[in-house]
Amino acid sequence: MGVIEMDDAVAALLRLWEVTDDTVADLRDADWGRPLAPSGAPAAVASAVLGTGGKDVADLVTHLTGVRYAGPGRLREALAEAHVRAERSALSGAPSGQVLEAQCLDMCLHAHDLQEALGRELDPDAVGPAAVAACRLVSGLVPRLLLRTGARATCLRLLVRDGADGPVVIDRLVRIGGEPAVPTAEVVADAEAFLLLLAGRRTAGELAGQGRVAWSGRGAEALVGV
């Protein structure tokens, strides 16, 4: 079977699998019990969509593999097997649309959580295109998230960049409550930052201090949780 061409998001998704697999293969005994940072996600964010993979590294790997009640050796093997399945799936017929976006969302957050538990950071080049794909899915949830904050009338412009200094790749106008199509609030963020913000992995203030998120208007304040 010939190798098909993969778009940037699929390649980035497989890169996240590779980074995660390599990280787990090198875990020390003490690393399995390292706690995952608690999610500080606002109540508007559905934990079923943006939740964590458990309480510690072992829980996270168990979540990724679906293999329960197993020790470190079997979990490493199961994760390597899951990685191979992901590669075979991409080579036989790469996922697309919301399937790809959901897979990217899942792996962006879980790879981040794993690295953070170990005191490391993900390489932005490893996560970038996958984060953009994930944001295409998450941006569709913004109207629901705004309603769940208690907002009743908002017209918000959401701008998502491909990297901190990259081009705008998502430009979405969100209206709730019958507001006219004239934005009174705005959120600008790089793709990874937007995911980390909505999932509660980072606060708006922290990301703003890094120049990765900016906002204005009451509707924007409700979305970012300030």
pLDDT, one tens digit per residue, over 96-113 is: 888 899 999 999 999 999
Q: Grade residue 51 by pLDDT with cuts at 50, 70 and 90.
A: low
Q: Does residue 53 surpass a pLDDT of 70? A: no
List of residues 6+ apart from 48 with CB closer than 8 A: none
The predicted structure's pLDDT at residue 41: 52
Q: What is the mean pLDDT of residues 188-208?
A: 92
The predicted structure's pLDDT at residue 50: 57
| Mean pLDDT computed over every residue of the chain | 87
What domains are there in the chain, each with its CATH number?
8-134 (no CATH), 141-224 (3.30.1050.10)
Q: What is the pTM of this model?
A: 0.88
**Dist. CA 18–CA 12, nearest whole Å:** 10
Q: What is the mean pLDDT of residues 173-201?
A: 89
